[in-house]
Structure 1
Amino acid sequence: MAETIQTYWPYLLATLAVVLAVGWFLFLSNRKTSVVTDRRDVLDEGAAPAQRNQALIDAPRSAADPATAELPKSQPATSGDDLTRIKGLGPRIATMLNEMGVARFADIARWDDAEIDRIDAQLGKFQGRIRRDAWVEQAKFLSQGDESGFVAKFGQNG
């Protein structure tokens, strides 16, 4: 075996070099290449605006859209119920509600779905809490003075 290697070492070395070259070529040819297109982006200089976005920009705002509906300007409530007794309604949200004119449990207990959507749209990062924490149901118990029903359903505060 050693004599064979000594006799054919130049051929073995050339074969090894060819195998390495073919392997390297296959490795490079299988690499993913980036796709280059000739399409212009809407952000390129001189490009036309995207038509689908332009239609949204030009469309008039809907008055029925609760996210764009303005709350009526009212005087901030100065006295009322302690809204923080409602679970999920902390001091920051209570202040926001007071600025919107909501100061009593009875105000919250009267909310319907449209009113919930309108108020919820104004709560910023607190959106979704009205339904998730059942504020309307809690407010109904508290506005009626039903402490035992409130505690039975929602637990003790604090």
Structure 2
Amino acid sequence: MQEFFMDYGLWLLIGLLVIIGLVFLLSGKDKARDVAQDIAPTPPAQTPPAPFVEPVAAAPVVAPVEPVAPVAAPIAPIAVEPTPAPEPVPVSPAITAVPEGEDDLLRLKGVGPKLKTLLIDLGVTRFAQIAAWTDTDLAAIDARLGNFKGRPIRDQWIDQAKYLAAGDIAGFETKYGKL
């Protein structure tokens, strides 16, 4: 008997779960019909017609109608302040003296399209800039990365950038894998 459960126990468990699921689904449909019937309006009970009484002509009584004041006060609009665009981070003079053009920051391991765009918005466009970062520069950039905070240290961007800025592709691929 133990061998039977060892061999077919998993299938028995799956079958049991399927049966429980079917029972649950089928019982839910019946309840939905019951609820729909409970919600459906019931026809009013019929009362026997009243005996006919001849109307007497009388002057109509009209009550004055008073205007109704609104119950709720109007809802004031919610003021939404726009988020300011990130300002470039001031960095050391060695970083700002970069030749024209941009490097492909996507070659750094751990940098994707969104992070590349964020780095360019912060003024970082070259591997030489990243390779020249000091601890102060790294802390200033890291504070501006939002959801990507901690990535420069964890992914070792400075070390990667040193290899790429020097053009040492073989050394980069040895340490960080194929580009």
How many Å separate the matches in 1 of 2:109 and 2:88? 27
Q: What's 1:51 paired with?
A: none
Q: What's 2:89 paired with?
A: 71
Q: Which runs of 4+ in 1 moved over 2 A?
A: 69-72
TM-score, normalised via structure 1 length = 0.50
Q: What's 2:105 paired with?
A: 83
- 1:99 deviation in Å? 1.1
1:139 aligns with 2:161: yes
1:99 aligns with 2:121: yes
- CA, structure 1 residues 153+121, in 2 after alignment: closer, same or farther (shift >3 Å)? same
Deviation track 1:21-44 (CA, whole Å, cap 9, x = no partner) reads xxxxxxxxxxxxxxxxxxxxxxxx
Deviation track 1:33-87 (CA, whole Å, cap 9, x = no partner) reads xxxxxxxxxxxxxxxxxxxxxxxxxxxxxxxxxxxx9724x9xxx9400001000
* Largest Rg, 1 or 2: 2
Q: What's 1:109 paired with?
A: 131
How many Å separate the matches in 2 of 1:140 and 1:70? 22
Q: Where in structure 1 are there 5+ consecutive unaligned residues?
A: 1-68
State whether residues 88 and 123 of structure 2, in contact with CA within 8 Å, keep that contact through their aligned partners in structure 1. no
Quote the RMSD (CA, aligned, Å).
Answer: 2.1
- 1:100 deviation in Å? 1.3
| Selected match of 2:140 from 118, 123, 126 | 118
TM-score, normalised via structure 2 length = 0.45
The equivalences for 1:26-65 within 5 A come to none
The percentage of counterpart residues that share the same residue type is: 48
How many Å separate the matches in 1 of 2:165 and 2:88? 27
Q: What's 1:156 paired with?
A: 178
How many Å separate the matches in 2 of 1:147 and 1:93? 22
How many Å separate the matches in 1 of 2:139 and 2:147? 14
Q: What is the count of residue pairs matched by the alignment?
A: 85
